[in-house]
């Protein structure tokens, strides 16, 4: 580490109204891969732009502030009282900017796919002598985007599409949004921005041309178009989700997992998938899931907040809810739901079963149609099933109840009391057979 590390302040703009989302939820709180756009952006900032963080929010946006502090507890929250443009939003952090930082980075909460390395590269350009650095991209279709105007390798201005000349519009080098600038020049540049445009707003992009006219050094840094895609409506949100899912799938496969049909598998941002994991088509892996080396996730399964140990198999058509902990070599079969339960090594729960608030001991066998009745309308209660126990099909275990090691439960039983180890419990009405009853019943019905 350098003896004199540069002090950096990153300002994250999160005050936009997001009108085009047509939503009661603030735009930046809409989610990608199980995490808000704001959280994605802040995570990249914390990793790539080490230093202090300010998040600019709109009035009455306590939910946005709370989300920011959940991800970045040390962040400073400031409010932009009136939405008068991006430069005005940055100046909501005037007090922080004035504290003598070497570098000021500005990014947007609705550019959620930006990578930490890209933010770090913006800072590196400042360290190498630039006064202003704008992030750009080569657009497949540049229509509507502001253009980065360069001459001789020098960035002269950022021109809005509607204000650009025909020659400038021919360029595909477009403005991505994030900017970095010298801390010593920051307030001088920002205070020079005027609302000389049809919207009468203060545009942050104007500081590039201001810097150029003052003889300062402005440069462009180019990013991949997908990385800097903005999200302003539901269609763009879906496009960003698709791009992020592609990134997450590629990462999982690069780290040693097999996805048979990658395009059908959906992964949360924090999915942890080990080596030699096999994931069949149409699987959803939500937040908080850890799948260890050598596990198998069969088709059409849904996992959230769960752990699956090596050698275990889940599905097809299984649901693991938060707190499901599946030990090595356990089997969770079709149409099985597990919630807040420890399934120990080698246990088998193969068909049409609900296990909630429970422990299933090692090598126990749970028959088809078994349910743990864990909720009495007011509180949850625990079921404890011992190692090697056998639960017959279509049984109901009414919690709180304990089934001892090696015990047998007769099929169709409703168990309301604990069963000792190695015992047999049968709790159902005794079968009675009446010979000829069905024939006589039909005869009576025909006469009547």
Q: Is the dihedral of CA 78, 82, 84, 85 positive or negative?
A: positive
To the nearest whole number, what is the mean pLDDT of the chain? 95
pTM: 0.92
Q: SS3 for 418?
A: coil
At 98 the pLDDT is 97
Q: Write down how long the chain is.
A: 448
- pLDDT > 90: percent of the chain: 90
Mean pLDDT of 231-251: 97
Mean pLDDT of 49-78: 96
> By C-alpha distance, which of 338, 244, 310, 204 is closest to 44?
244
Mean pLDDT of 10-20: 93
> By C-alpha distance, which of 356, 357, 359, 335 is closest to 347?
359
- Is residue 175 packed enough to be buried (19+ CB in 10 Å), middle (13-18) or exposed (0-12)? buried
User: Can you list the domains of the chain with their CATH numbers?
Assistant: 8-223 (3.90.550.10), 248-425 (2.160.10.10)
Residue entry with tokens 């009745």: 373
Question: Would the pLDDT of 130 be above 90?
Answer: yes
Question: Would the pLDDT of 62 be above 80?
Answer: yes
The per-residue pLDDT for range 278-299, each reduced to its tens digit, is 999 999 999 999 999 999 999 9
At 2 the pLDDT is 46
Question: Would the pLDDT of 153 be above 90?
Answer: no
In the structure encoding, which two tokens stand for residue 280, read together?
Answer: 């069949």
Mean pLDDT of 51-70: 96
DSSP state of 231: -
Is 351 annotated in the active site? yes
Mean pLDDT of 2-8: 74
Question: Would the pLDDT of 18 be above 70?
Answer: yes
Q: Which of 30, 40, 351, 381 is catalytic?
A: 351
At 378 the pLDDT is 95
> By C-alpha distance, which of 415, 411, 422, 412 is closest to 399?
415
C-alpha 131: how far from its chain's center?
35
Mark out the alpha helices in 98-200 (DSSP H runs): 116-127, 166-169, 186-191
User: What is the phi/psi pair of residue 99, to 5°?
Assistant: -85, 10
Q: Is the dihedral of CA 284, 343, 372, 381 positive or negative?
A: negative
At 4 the pLDDT is 61
Mean pLDDT of 209-220: 96
At 405 the pLDDT is 98
- pLDDT > 70: percent of the chain: 99
Q: SS3 for 329?
A: coil
At 162 the pLDDT is 82
DSSP state of 273: E
Compute the distance between CA of residue 157 and CA of residue 325 in angstroms, rounded to an integer: 56
Under the banding of pLDDT at 50, 70 and 90, the label for residue 1 is very low
The per-residue pLDDT for range 321-372, each reduced to its tens digit, is 999 999 999 999 999 999 999 999 999 999 999 999 999 999 999 999 999 9
Question: Would the pLDDT of 97 be above 80?
Answer: yes
């Amino acid at each position: 580490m350098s003896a004199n590390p540069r002090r950096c302040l990153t300002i994250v703009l999160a005050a936009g109204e997001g009108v085009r989302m047509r939503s009661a939820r603030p735009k930046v709180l809409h989610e990608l891969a199980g995490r808000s756009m704001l959280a994605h952006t802040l995570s990249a900032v914390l990793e790539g732009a080490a230093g202090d963080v300010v998040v600019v929010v709109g009035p009455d946006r306590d939910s946005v502030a709370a989300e920011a502090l959940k991800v970045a507890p040390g962040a400073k929250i400031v409010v932009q009282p009136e939405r008068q443009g991006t430069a005005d939003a940055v100046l909501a952090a005037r007090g922080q900017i004035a504290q003598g930082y070497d570098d000021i980075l500005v990014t947007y909460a609705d550019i959620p796919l930006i990578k930490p390395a890209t933010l770090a590269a913006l800072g590196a350009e400042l360290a190498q002598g630039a006064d202003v650095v704008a992030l750009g991209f080569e657009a497949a279709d540049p229509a509507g985007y502001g253009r980065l105007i360069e001459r001789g390798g020098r960035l002269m201005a950022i021109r809005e599409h509607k204000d650009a000349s025909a020659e400038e519009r021919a360029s595909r080098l477009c403005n991505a949004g994030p900017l970095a600038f010298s801390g010593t020049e920051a307030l001088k540049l920002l205070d020079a921005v005027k609302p000389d445009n049809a919207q009468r707003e203060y545009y942050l992009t104007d500081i590039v041309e201001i810097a150029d006219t003052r003889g300062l050094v402005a440069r462009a840094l180019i990013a991949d178009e997908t990385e800097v895609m903005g999200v302003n409506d539901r269609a763009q949100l879906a496009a960003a989700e698709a791009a992020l899912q592609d990134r997450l799938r590629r990462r999982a496969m690069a780290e040693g997992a097999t996805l048979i049909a990658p395009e059908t598998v959906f992964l949360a941002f924090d999915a942890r998938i080990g080596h030699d994991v096999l994931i069949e088509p149409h699987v959803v892996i939500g937040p908080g899931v850890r799948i260890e080396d050598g596990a198998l996730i069969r088709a059409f399964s849904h996992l959230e907040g769960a752990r699956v140990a090596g050698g275990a198999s889940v599905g097809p058509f299984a649901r693991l809810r938060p707190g499901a902990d599946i030990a090595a070599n356990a089997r969770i079969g079709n149409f099985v739901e597990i919630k807040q339960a420890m399934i120990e090594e080698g246990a088998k729960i193969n068909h049409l079963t609900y296990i909630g608030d429970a422990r299933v001991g090692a090598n126990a066998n749970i028959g088809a149609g078994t349910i743990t009745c864990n909720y009495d309308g007011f509180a949850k209660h625990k079921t404890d099933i011992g190692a090697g126990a056998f639960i017959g099909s279509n049984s109901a275990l009414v919690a709180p109840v304990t089934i001892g090691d090696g015990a047998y439960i007769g099929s169709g039983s409703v168990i309301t009391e604990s069963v000792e180890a190695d015992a047999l419990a049968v709790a159902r009405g005794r079968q009675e057979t009446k010979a000829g009853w069905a024939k006589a019943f039909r005869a009576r019905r025909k006469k009547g």
